[in-house]
């Protein structure tokens, strides 16, 4: 299949692009390199700029080594996007272009809407003529507070804050294009992703980053907050199944490990890998919902999604990679 990834040089996208290429797909990437990417880390005041730029350059080197077509272009530019889309004529567009962090969204809502909903609108519009399958990366944040500790795809969505509300708005846009134009879609709701070459300062990344540079780590609250931590290898395998299995058409899936764990469980793994782990406790962040487990029964049944990496395996792989990479670039 010919697959186009918008925002495909990001954390999810470059890992996914390499995985898809190795599965035999013809992969192209459209990315401005401007959000959570190379052009985001040109300010000398940014903490760990050298490390981040090294990671981002590593992404591009890996894509080049796989001979994956990278189009440096802004998905907000409809005419340019449309021209690239027509030339590539993909069978599937996986829409990843977005601001990827809830805190950034709440601090800069204008930029978030601009880079997320406008790019999604353009994706939907260029795809509608040929009824190209659109796979939209949503978020577990659409659920808001997990009042029962576990949610499935039928659970009512009550997002909190800009990020979750925006992601849910995107889902409604996708479904509207399906209703009006019969556009085939798949909506994916991930949770707490972690893994190699992440620079978006997610909790799993920032813990390791601080510890390799001998800094303390901070947690919000008492560390008992639960997240459905999902290793990138499991997630991208699930996305590929959504590309190839017809059962994924016009469906919404939770794609996570399927078992939430408290943050202190990550810290236990970190303590087995680092000496003198110092922890600072901070107040819980506003607009951060209480989350838990995402039921993945539907994905297991319809597309045979079978995640293989609990945090004891996946997070250990990530720690090993980060230590090795940090030593190489510092």
The two three-digit tokens of residue 217, written as one number:
């780590």
Residue 297 sits in a domain whose CATH number is 3.40.50.720
Q: Is residue 204 part of a domain?
A: no
Query: Which range (8-12, 85-89, 111-115) has the least confidence?
Result: 111-115
Per-residue CA distances from 235 to 75, 190, 256, 270, 292 (Å)? 24, 8, 7, 22, 17
User: Cα 86 to the chain's mean position, in Å?
Assistant: 26
Residue 34: pLDDT band with limits 50, 70, 90: confident
Q: Determine contact, residues 299/218, Cβ cutoff 8 Å.
A: no
Residue 40 in any domain: the answer is yes
pLDDT, tens digit (0-9, with 9 covering 90-100), for 248-279: 999 999 999 999 999 999 999 999 999 989 99
User: What whole-number distance in Å separates Cα of residue 104 and Cα of residue 89?
Assistant: 33
Return the pLDDT at 35: 60
- Three-state DSSP at 102 gives helix
Has residue 299 been placed in a domain? yes
DSSP code of 37?
S
Measured distance CA(243)–CA(245) in Å, rounded: 6
Average pLDDT over every residue of 152-158:
97
pLDDT-based confidence at 199, cuts 50/70/90?
confident
Domain that holds residue 8: 2-191+232-256+293-310
Token code pair at residue 193: 């992703």
Q: Look up tokens 């409809």; give the residue.
A: 78
In the structure encoding, which two tokens stand for residue 286, read together?
A: 């506003």
Give domain status of residue 116, yes or no. yes
| Residue 66, token pair as written in the block | 């796989």
Q: What is the largest CA-CA distance in the chain?
A: 58
Residue 5 pLDDT greater than 70, yes or no: yes
Check residue 234 and report its DSSP letter: H
Q: How would you classify residue 156: left for phi > 0, otherwise alpha for psi between -120 and 50, otherwise beta?
A: beta
Query: Residue 328: is it exposed, middle or buried by C-beta count within 10 angstroms (0-12/13-18/19+)?
Result: exposed
Angle at the Cα of 223 (from 217 to 227), degrees rounded to 5?
105
Number of H helices, E strands in the chain: 11, 15
Please give the structure tokens belonging to residue 223: 């560390």
20 within a domain of the structure (yes/no): yes
Question: Nearest Cα to 186, choosing from 252, 127, 123, 91?
Answer: 252
What DSSP character marks residue 123?
H
* Contact between residue 252 and residue 171 where contact means Cβ atoms under 8 Å apart: yes
Q: How far apart are CA 71 and CA 17, in angstroms?
A: 13
Total domains in the fold of the chain: 1
Q: Tally Cβ neighbours within 10 Å of residue 281.
A: 11
For residue 10, give every residue at least 6 positions away whose Cβ sits within 8 Å of its Cβ, in sequence order, or none. Answer: 31, 35, 36, 37, 96, 100, 200
- pLDDT at site 102: 55
**Rg (Cα) of the chain, in Å, rounded?**
19
| Beta strand spans in 10-76 (E) | 26-31, 69-72
240 neighbors 21 (Cβ within 8 angstroms): no
Q: What is the pLDDT of residue 71?
A: 93
Single out the residue of 151, 158, 208 nearest to residue 324, CA to CA. 208
Q: pLDDT > 70: what percent of the chain?
A: 91
Q: What pLDDT score does 37 carry?
A: 56
**Confidence bin at 223 (pLDDT 50/70/90):** confident
Whether 155 is covered by a domain: the verdict is yes
């Amino acid at each position: 299949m010919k697959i186009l990834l918008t925002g495909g040089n990001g954390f999810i996208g470059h890992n996914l692009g390499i995985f898809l290429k190795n599965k035999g797909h013809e992969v192209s990437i459209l990315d401005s390199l401007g959000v959570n990417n190379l052009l985001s880390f040109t300010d000398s005041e940014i903490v760990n700029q050298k490390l981040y730029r090294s990671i981002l350059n590593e992404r591009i080197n890996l894509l080049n080594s796989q001979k994956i077509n990278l189009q440096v272009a802004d998905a907000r530019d409809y005419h340019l996007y449309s021209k690239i889309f027509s030339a590539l004529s993909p069978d599937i567009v996986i829409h990843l272009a977005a601001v990827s962090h809830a805190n950034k969204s709440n601090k800069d809502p204008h930029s978030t809407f601009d880079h997320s909903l406008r790019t999604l609108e353009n994706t939907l519009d260029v795809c509608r003529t040929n009824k190209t399958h659109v796979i939209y990366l949503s978020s577990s944040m659409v659920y808001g507070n997990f009042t029962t500790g576990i949610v499935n795809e039928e659970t009512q969505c009550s997002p909190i804050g800009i990020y979750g509300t925006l992601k849910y708005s995107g889902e409604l846009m996708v479904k509207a294009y399906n209703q009006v134009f019969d556009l085939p879609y798949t909506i994916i709701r991930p949770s707490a992703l972690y893994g190699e070459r992440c620079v978006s300062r997610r909790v799993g990344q920032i813990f390791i980053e601080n510890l390799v540079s001998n800094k303390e780590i901070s947690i919000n609250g008492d560390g008992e907050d639960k997240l459905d931590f999902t290793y990138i290898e499991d997630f991208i395998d699930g996305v590929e199944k959504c590309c190839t299995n017809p059962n994924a058409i016009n469906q919404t899936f939770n794609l996570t490990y399927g078992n939430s764990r408290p943050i202190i469980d990550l810290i236990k793994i970190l303590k087995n890998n680092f000496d003198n782990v110092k922890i600072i406790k901070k107040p819980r962040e506003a607009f951060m919902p209480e989350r838990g487990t995402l039921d993945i029964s539907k994905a297991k049944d319809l597309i045979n999604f079978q995640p293989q990496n609990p945090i004891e395996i996946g997070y250990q792989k990530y720690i090993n990679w980060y230590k090795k990479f940090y030593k190489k670039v510092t």
